[in-house]
Amino acid sequence: MLTTALVLAVAVPVLGALIAAAVPARPARWSAMAAAAVAAALAIRAVVTAFPGVYRSGLGGLPWLGAQVGHGLIGVLIDPLSSVLLLVVVVIGLLTVIYSFQYVSEANRDHSVMPQDQRRYYLWLLLFVASMVGVAISPNFLQLFLFWEMTTLCSWALISFYRNEQSLRAGFKALVMTHVGGLFFLLALLVLFTQTGSFDFAALARLSEGPRASVFLCLMIATWAKAAQVPLHTWLPDAMEAPTPISAYLHAAAMVKAGVYLMARSVSSGWAMPLGTGYALGAMALLTILVALSCYFVQDDVKRLLAYSTISHLGYVLLGVAMGALGSVEGFRGGVLHIVCHGFSKALLFFCAGAVAYTTGVRSISALRGLGRSMPLTAVAFFIGVLAVTGIPPFACFWSKFMLFAGALQLPGPSGPILLVVLLGETLIAFAWMLYVAQRVFLGAPSPAAENSQDPPLAMSMTLVLLMIGSGIAPVIGIPLVELIGR
Amino acid sequence: MSHVFLVETAFTLLLVGAVVSLVLARRRKLCGWTSFAFITVSAITIGGVVVDTFRTGGEPEVVLLQLPLLGASWTIVIDQLSAFFLAIAATIGVLSTLFSVDYMTHFGEDTVAKFYPVLLVFFASIIGVLVTSDFLFFLVFWELMTLTSFFLVTFERESATSQRAGRKYFIITHAATLCMVAGALLLWKDSGSFHFPAMRYALGTLLSTRPIIGHLVILLLLLGFATKAGVLPMGDWLPDAHPVAPSGMSAMLSGVLVKLGIYGLLRVFCGFVPISHSLQAWGIVIALAGTASLFIGTLTALMQADSKRLMAFHTIGQIGYICLGLGAGLYCLPTAPTLAALGLMGALFHAANHACFKACLFLGAGAVLYRTGERDMDKLGGLGESMPVTAASSTVASLSIAGVPPFNGFASKWLILVTCMLVGMTSPLFLLLGIVGLFISLATLASFLKVLGAVFLGQPEEGSEVSEVPLTMAVPQAVLAALCVLLGIFPQAPLRFAHTALANLSSVDLPPVHELLGGPWGLTLTVSGHTVGLWTPLAAVAALALLGALAYGIQRAGAARVRQVDVWTCGEEERAAIVRYPASSFYLPFKGAFHGIYPTLRVGIPSFPPSLRKVLDLDRWLYLPAAKAVERTARYVGRTHTGIPQVYLLWIVVGALAVMFAGLLLVR
């Protein structure tokens, strides 16, 4: 029963995608929404049913690969970790589709989209939803890898959606860089399979010391590429050429989270990450956080600023994962919780940026001023997003960041307090800058670009409101799930 | 009904009120009255809790929410200290909301949807801060309070000054909160819980096992709370944020919000830190910081011409007095509980008094602002006749803050300074601090004489049609002024409350209150059997009244003639407003002498050297060159594809020869 639901959660969006591609724009939108809603309902039901246990079921296999992987190579898995990703993916996916109803239309002042192109949009978007669901419910590395590469493909198509030179270039760059990561993933798979004869997550722990380090290293590079971590972070700011709902969904809430999910999964399957790689992961995460922070101050495009913020927050998640590898379960849970919290709040911020671009056609921070009067709802949403994402209580990211801070102190030796000081400093500076930007854009006397602006139409406003609520209650959903990890 | 139920009711009321006032926001006054009603009802509910707490003592704590993951749980307990501050918050909250009903009508541009709902949540978060006994949830409410007050401070959307001030406020206090987060986490690492008693225990253990970490924790908590309280140098946010907020909110900020910093300090230093010699050191630190604040804050206030900014600096100054009393009390806590009790009670009493007179002063400044649109005292004058209630209330409050008997400011300052002197018998440092405090009182008086003189005295502008503010704005001022008088004449009652609060909080046995303060009419300070101080406000009032009557009688008896003459302006004819003595002309020598005494911190946008930017731009020096290199190589290889069959045939022949050659080599 649960298996059927999960398989359907993958199949229905695929079906919806095919329908959307085949029919005219108007029914395409509705079929997309129906498919996303059904997938969300099925996935949520599956998560609720499986909670608080683990559900695993095999569907079939490739017998010629060998006895050990003969069956159960293709299947479904629901445990707290995958539930976290699954919930983020389906809920924000549905909201993205709803938001796109009006954003991806001819009325958009930033980029108007003709009806015939909208079909292409929903095709790729729903394929992406399906592949992300696939990533979340994969019971082993092989299936995970297949869906993983599908997300890369969808990301390429969606970044290049506008088909102008910049977006084609950005899409190609993203494809190449994330695919390089994918190749490292493949390498890791090959080593794992030749050494243990299995693709299971648990097989990582069965590796001997040397190969294990190299497998983890390869997985780490794959993660860095997918989650836009230093040194492979440069594709993400360029990917902001994509339509804003895509930036919100793929490049803040979902696809980049697949990267950190891979790492979280690898680390938590047996907690077998070698200490050296753990330290490397943590150090690179910290470096990413700081490098991304240093880029805040020179950004003029709202979306690029948000992209750097995303990079830095993915660094937080990976830092939490690294803490888990180094023995601090609290930090690991904080990192996983951050997936949910950051997903909602960053999607909210992107949707606000999209609403501003939709009504004014401008994304430049320096050209926008005083939008609060004409767009009160967007202003409130943006402020809540800023407060949520920078970790001001009682909003979402405070709770995950707090757990990360607490996790840092559980680390052995002096690294904990030093880490705490750095993280608190980063939090303060990032908060100060984001607050500054929010005040600049939404308060003050209106600039010429702000004239004739207004709050977005109903569907977009509704998603803003829902995400505002989500930015408040994300921890309520996330904490019961992450509590189960590492028990 | 249980306390927790009442607190929950107040909470619910405030949150419901926030939604209701948001819905009604289009109608300014209705929205104001609705919010006032909600705040009043919840304040009455809270008042019930306060009264019951003082009468019967606290109730056991109640757990509302568990978070086993972090060892945190939202526990609610109302002890006497919470009740003391709840009383302050409820009083000031109700009065400043009443004041705002009419006041908020004069902001034409900005909708009150940004004010009342946020104000109600702000009030709810204050209650949350005061009743929570778990540090994680305490921090949540604390920061909720900061963030709501940020939106209240930046109410005027289009004013760049208020945006900048609000930003500064939020960033500085958020930094303070992060300090507290770090401190709380360091304690959590040992205890695994954020519950106050567990943290107290953890701090005690930490101080004995790893004193450096222990003191670091205390320092972090001190920084966190002192920043909110407005102790210099971290209190630098205060003089910017107070003036730009709507006046009702300024009164809340100065009357309640900064007091919560004091609440936190009391919780930490009287509740958490074990009685030891290190507590004495922290007492000295707090007293020194307090004295620095009162010295710098008050003298800087002397130089201000903006009425609300002036009062904001005085907030720093008066918080300095509270910290001085607190520091002296903490210093004595291990050795001389009697003196400690006097100092701490003085501090707590001064906190309540400061809430009354400073709120009254801010409301007075707001009333003037409402009628004239001016905060610049150079442009004001002669309002005393047209605004009698405001003038009278402000005068009472000014005399109170300056510590003139028989008003409440005198009683509490007297207690603090007497404690300093008495402590000074054994440790001269406190004698010095007490003397500084004594003389700074004079500067306070001077500064408020300037305010009264510049705003209310002098000739009014000809043809000015300034009238008294409406009743809703006059009543809160009058009530606060009356409180200033009442608390001054009957200081026993609040001091008894303060004593109960402290006796319940501290682990030291404080002497019973009747031994400390003597009989019900006035204060008779007794230290180890000797009476060391005596203050009987009623006698003083009687004497003052008598002398006043006598002076009046003599004047009447002498029938002195009063001549009304115009100001002589060297024969020129000038308008009264031009020849008025302006506020900025007061105390010019002081301005010269103390110029630059106030330290301000300026932080710009961080800039990085361009070289670093280049290094970080991996695209430029790594990926793009690599991509170019791949492309070049591909082109190079591509050149072999000429499209001429002969050339391909040549390649085939060459290849075949190479293979044959290699094969021959291998076979041989």
Task: Judge whether residue A28 has pLDDT over 80.
Answer: yes
Query: What ipTM was predicted for this assembly?
Result: 0.93
- State pLDDT tens for residues B293-348: 999 999 988 888 888 999 999 999 999 999 999 999 999 988 888 889 999 999 99
Token pair recorded at residue B264: 């936190």
What average pLDDT score do residues B403-428 get? Answer: 91
Is the peptide bond prior to B406 cis by the omega test (within 30 degrees of 0)?
Answer: yes
Which pLDDT belongs to residue A487? 61
Token pair recorded at residue B370: 């409402």
Which pLDDT belongs to residue A184? 95
When scoring B107, B167, B190, B611 by the number of chain A Cβ atoms within 10 A, the one with the most, hence best to mutate, is B167
SS (H, E, C) B448-475: HHHHHHHHHCCCCCCCCCCCCCCHHHHH
A298: nearest CA partner in chain B: B607
- State pLDDT tens for residues B169-211: 999 999 999 999 999 999 998 888 899 999 889 999 999 999 9
A486: nearest CA partner in chain B: B69
Which pLDDT belongs to residue A70? 52
Top-confidence range, A168-177, B51-60, B69-78, B106-115 = A168-177
Helices A255-268 and A302-325, axial angle in degrees (round to 10) = 10
What average pLDDT score do residues A6-33 get? Answer: 92
CA distance B495 to A389: 45
User: Is residue A287 within 8 angstroms of chain B, CB to CB?
Assistant: no
Phi, psi of B362 (to 5 degrees): -65, -40
CA distance B162 to B244: 5
- State pLDDT tens for residues A86-103: 999 999 999 999 999 889
Is the peptide bond prior to A237 cis by the omega test (within 30 degrees of 0)?
Answer: no
pLDDT band at A413 (very low <50, low <70, confident <90, very high): confident
Which pLDDT belongs to residue B396? 95
Which pLDDT belongs to residue B587? 84
Which pLDDT belongs to residue B582? 80
Q: Which of B68, B185, B612 sits opposite A406 (nearest CB)?
A: B185
Sole residue written with tokens 């445990």? A79
Which pLDDT belongs to residue A68? 56
Provide DSSP, A391-446: T-TTSHHHHHHHHHHHHHHHSSTTHHHHHHHHHHHHHHHHHHHHHHHHHHHHSSSP
- State pLDDT tens for residues B553-608: 998 898 878 888 777 778 887 777 777 778 888 888 888 888 777 777 677 777 77
- State pLDDT tens for residues A449-479: 888 888 889 999 999 999 999 999 999 999 9
Residues of B in contact with A333 (CB under 8 A): 69
Provide DSSP, B256-296: IIHHHHHHHHHIIIIIIS-SSHHHHHHHHHHHHHHHHHHHH
- Whether the CB-CB separation of B343 and B434 falls below 8 Å is answered with no
Which pLDDT belongs to residue A82? 93
Which pLDDT belongs to residue A106? 87
pLDDT band at B132 (very low <50, low <70, confident <90, very high): very high
Provide DSSP, B209-240: H-HHHHHHHHHHHHHHHHHHHT-TTGGGGHHH
- Whether the CB-CB separation of B18 and B42 falls below 8 Å is answered with no
When scoring B129, B137, B150, B174 by the number of chain A Cβ atoms within 10 A, the one with the most, hence best to mutate, is B174
Task: Judge whether residue A143 has pLDDT over 70.
Answer: yes
- State pLDDT tens for residues A223-278: 999 999 988 999 999 999 999 999 999 888 889 999 999 999 999 988 889 999 99
- Whether the CB-CB separation of B525 and B531 falls below 8 Å is answered with yes
- State pLDDT tens for residues A326-339: 988 999 999 999 99
- State pLDDT tens for residues A172-204: 999 999 999 999 999 999 999 888 888 888 888
What average pLDDT score do residues B8-16 get? Answer: 93
Which pLDDT belongs to residue A314? 95
Report CB contact under 8 Å: B607, A297.
yes
Report CB contact under 8 Å: B185, A420.
yes
A410: nearest CA partner in chain B: B189
* Closest C-alpha to B195, from B133, B139, B274, B143: B133
Task: Judge whether residue B506 has pLDDT over 80.
Answer: no
Residues of A in contact with B609 (CB under 8 A): none
* Closest C-alpha to A400, from A319, A484, A300: A319
Q: Which of A234, A403, A409 sits opposite B619 (nearest CB)?
A: A234
Which pLDDT belongs to residue B55? 87
* Closest C-alpha to B321, from B359, B349, B357: B349
Which pLDDT belongs to residue A51? 85
What percentage of chain A exceeds 90 in pLDDT? 68
Residues of B in contact with A233 (CB under 8 A): 618
Task: Judge whether residue A355 has pLDDT over 70.
Answer: yes
Q: Which helix (H) or strand (E) holds A25?
A: helix A25-50
CA B461 vs. chain centroid, Å, equals 36
- Restricting to B residues 172-201, those with a Cβ less than 8 Å away from any Cβ of A are 174-175, 178, 181-182, 185-186, 188-189
Q: Which of B70, B147, B622 sits opposite A387 (nearest CB)?
A: B147
b/e burial code for range A100-123 (CB count within 10 A of at least 16 → b): bbbbbbeebebbebeeeebbbbbb
What percentage of chain B exceeds 70 in pLDDT? 100
Which pLDDT belongs to residue B285? 94
Q: What is the mean pLDDT of chain B?
A: 89
Which pLDDT belongs to residue B106? 84
Which pLDDT belongs to residue A69? 57
Which pLDDT belongs to residue A422? 94
User: Is residue A403 within 8 angstroms of chain B, CB to CB?
Assistant: yes
Which pLDDT belongs to residue B591? 80
Which pLDDT belongs to residue A66? 64
b/e burial code for range B71-87 (CB count within 10 A of at least 16 → b): bbbbbbbbbbbbbbbbb
When scoring B179, B181, B217, B603 by the number of chain A Cβ atoms within 10 A, the one with the most, hence best to mutate, is B181
A483 to chain B, minimum CA–CA distance in Å?
Answer: 6
Which pLDDT belongs to residue B611? 84
Count Cβ atoms within 10 A of the Cβ of residue B549 and give its class: 0-12 exposed, 13-18 middle, 19 or more buried. exposed
Task: Judge whether residue A156 has pLDDT over 90.
Answer: yes
Task: Judge whether residue A405 has pLDDT over 90.
Answer: yes
Q: Which residue blocks in B535-644 are alpha helix, DSSP H?
A: 537-558, 576-579, 588-593, 610-616, 618, 624-638
pTM of the entire predicted model: 0.93
Token pair recorded at residue B622: 């790594």
- State pLDDT tens for residues B221-233: 999 999 999 998 7
DSSP label at residue A140: B
What percentage of chain B exceeds 90 in pLDDT? 54
Task: Judge whether residue B381 has pLDDT over 90.
Answer: no
User: Is residue A3 within 8 angstroms of chain B, CB to CB?
Assistant: no
Task: Judge whether residue A71 has pLDDT over 60.
Answer: no
- Whether the CB-CB separation of B170 and B257 falls below 8 Å is answered with no
Report CB contact under 8 Å: B171, A435.
yes
What average pLDDT score do residues B239-251 get? Answer: 91
User: Is residue A343 within 8 angstroms of chain B, CB to CB?
Assistant: no
